[in-house]
């Protein structure tokens, strides 16, 4: 609106010269939107390679390269009511950031909309889960993230599964892709209250078998949290704490395709553009399309790729 919000100071004829930092397909107002995207540029507790605070802007930039129509889902994304609120203002204190995420997602959920959060580090997920005490949670993650506290902070990104268990309770969290667990975490009496599916188990059994087991255990709504380090570094090299021998990109797509319709919220986080070649941010952007596309898809659309 220009200085002091005066409408006459606005110069709409120049707007075409300036590129918005909003997600390119997010054309709706908040009131009209079914999906509400926001970024949380916070990496204050990162313990290896920092830089996930740059994730929200990098995924918006990468998304601009994606086609706005996907024939697999039969969805033209500009036609879907999506809004992008921009980035949450954050400080340095992890507990305060988690509180801010809780406040933001509470409003979005109470308004009957689906929050899509772009991180940032994994600690921020706890804020969303605080508003969803009756759901199950599906996590893609290389790490168990089950420490009681790490580096003197119980809101460290290495504690998010433990904090989520305290909110949701036993038998409600399913973590896929695990391949890094400390002895302290594994020996915790609480550890086995979460169902961990290691990446090696996924390779041996196949992702379809794992999905069936989770599907048979879940009754009701879910929250989906995608830590990009759950995916093998061959597909997602730009993450803060990379671990070899991870999930494939199509494993994660299959999980999203299966559970998105039951999801009341979604986040994708822990990608670090400073260590990327562009692949990780692009994959994160596509996973957002997969989430929305899975929910909006027409019944016939998946047959597109099976045509002879």
Q: Which domains does the chain have, with CATH numbers?
A: 34-298 (3.40.800.10)
Rounded mean pLDDT, 207-218 = 96
Would the pLDDT of 9 be above 70?
Answer: no
Q: How confident is the model at residue 21 (pLDDT cuts 50, 70, 90)?
A: confident
Mean pLDDT score across all residues of the chain: 87
Per residue in 50-60, pLDDT (tens digit) is 877 888 999 99
If DSSP codes are grouped into helix, strand and coil, which group holds residue 297? coil
Residue 282 and residue 197: Cα distance in Å, rounded? 26
159 or 181: which leads in pLDDT:
181
Q: How confident is the model at residue 2 (pLDDT cuts 50, 70, 90)?
A: very low
CA 23 to each of CA 56, 73, 139: distance values in angstroms, whole numbers, following the listed order: 10, 19, 24
Provide the 8-state DSSP code for 36. E
Rounded-to-10 torsion of CA 238, 101, 86, 286:
40
């Amino acid at each position: 609106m220009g200085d002091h919000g005066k409408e006459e100071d606005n110069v709409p004829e120049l707007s075409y010269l300036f590129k918005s930092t909003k997600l390119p397909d997010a054309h709706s107002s908040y009131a009209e939107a079914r999906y509400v995207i926001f970024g949380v540029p916070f990496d204050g507790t990162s313990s290896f390679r920092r830089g996930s605070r740059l994730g929200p802007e990098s995924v918006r930039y990468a998304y601009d390269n994606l086609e706005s129509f996907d024939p697999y889902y039969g969805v033209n994304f500009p036609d879907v009511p999506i809004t992008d609120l921009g980035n949450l203002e954050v400080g340095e204190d992890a507990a305060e950031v988690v509180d801010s995420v809780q406040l933001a997602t509470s409003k979005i959920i109470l308004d009957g909309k689906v929050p899509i959060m772009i991180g940032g580090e994994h600690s921020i997920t706890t804020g969303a889960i605080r508003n969803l005490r009756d759901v199950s949670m599906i996590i893609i993650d290389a790490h168990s993230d089950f420490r009681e506290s790490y580096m003197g902070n119980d809101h460290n990104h290495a504690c998010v599964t433990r904090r989520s268990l305290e909110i949701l309770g036993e038998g409600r969290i399913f973590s896929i892709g695990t391949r890094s667990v400390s002895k302290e975490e594994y020996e915790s009496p609480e550890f086995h209250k979460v169902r961990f599916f290691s990446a090696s188990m996924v390779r041996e059994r196949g992702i379809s078998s794992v999905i069936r087991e989770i599907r048979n255990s879940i009754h009701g709504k879910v929250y989906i949290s995608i830590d990009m380090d759950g995916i093998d570094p061959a597909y997602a090299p730009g993450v803060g704490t990379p671990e070899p021998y991870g999930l494939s990109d199509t494993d994660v797509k299959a999980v999203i395709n299966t559970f998105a319709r039951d999801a009341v919220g979604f986040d994708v986080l822990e990608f670090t553009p400073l260590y990327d070649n562009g692949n990780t941010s692009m994959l994160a952007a596509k996973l957002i399309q997969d989430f929305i596309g899975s929910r909006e898809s027409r019944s016939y659309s998946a047959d597109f790729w099976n045509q002879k």
